[in-house]
Amino acid sequence: MNPKKKIFYLGVEGGATKSTAMLVDEREIAIAQNKGGPLNYHGIGIATTGKNLRQLLRPICKKANDAKIIAVLGLAGLDTEKDRGVYEKIVKAVLPSNSLWQVVNDAETALELRCQNDSMPRILAISGTGSSILGEYKGKKAKSIGWDYIFGDEGSGYEVGLKILKTAAKSWDGRNKKSILEKIVLQQTKIPTMEKLIAATYQRISQNPNATKQYIASFSQYLDQALKRNDWAAKQIRKETAQELVRGIEAVIRNLHIQKKAFCLGFMGSVWNMQGLKALVQKRIKQLYPKVQFSSNNDEGVWGAILLARKLSSSLY
């Protein structure tokens, strides 16, 4: 490589609801940053993913001028080799031809950020629109949950939102005792009755099926209102969410055979902001695995992609 050539590192965090890109120089000083739409092609399609990525990176790449870009893109929905091929085709059409880049699952970039000491076992628990538990130790990787909303998104915003809507319906039609969640979802949607809310929800989904997961997950933000009012159903949903996430973490620990080792556990995703959720999970994991070390790193997830871009650069040159 020409030593006089500038090198910029590009990190992309592409989630199911939004994306962030950041360009830094060799001293990790930010040169440019941009935010954009979702980049999970499973939910929005290949064409829209390409369009969103182009809009996200066009102003970033202009700032790079003639510098060499080394990039890592952490992308939601990259779970198989087929997914990798789809994303690589999309990225190749967007980044400058002389760029060096790699696509990884967004959980890998988050893991790198939350637990930067890769000499010890590392686990990341993601709970946002979707959920996933990712672990890594001595080159071996393990994953649980994270199979999208049909096969496994337990502990996610989607699951919480779906339970809120079902709880509201059961409260309304008499299958369960009354829950304040019935009133909250009507107030937030500005729809007067549950009957009309149900019809409106199905209509919205039929009009834009690719946005179903994001729409249902949007209701998860209302759980805190019910928790503050000590609603029985809200507390049950929080308890079940914690249990599912603990099960996922335990599965990764077993698969990595680190039950008796010290390990780092990091958290990422908006659902962890739920009142009391993280405390419930941490308490249970600490009981089961006393050597756990909880990460306190709360930097933006895009920095994990930048850290991996620097590692990519080191491995190539």
Residue 90, classed as helix, strand or coil, is: helix
Specify the pLDDT at position 3: 52
Q: How confident is the model at residue 118 (pLDDT cuts 50, 70, 90)?
A: confident
pLDDT in tens, 235-277: 999 999 999 999 999 999 999 999 999 999 999 889 999 999 9
pLDDT in tens, 22-31: 999 999 999 9
User: Is-above-0.95 flag for pTM?
Assistant: no
Q: How far apart are CA 292 and CA 174, in angstroms?
A: 44
Specify the pLDDT at position 316: 63
Structure token pair of residue 187: 């107030």
Q: How confident is the model at residue 280 (pLDDT cuts 50, 70, 90)?
A: very high
**Which domains are delineated in the chain?**
7-112+300-316 (3.30.420.40), 118-296 (3.30.420.40)
What residue type is assigned to position 305 of the chain? A
DSSP class of residue 152?
A: B
Phi, psi for residue 93 in degrees, rounded to 5: -80, -10
Contact, 36 vs 18, CB < 8 A? yes
Helices (H), 157-301: 157-173, 180-189, 194-207, 212-217, 223-228, 232-256, 277-288
- The yes-or-no verdict on residue 1 having pLDDT over 60 is no
Q: Bridge-partner residues for 143, per DSSP?
A: 134
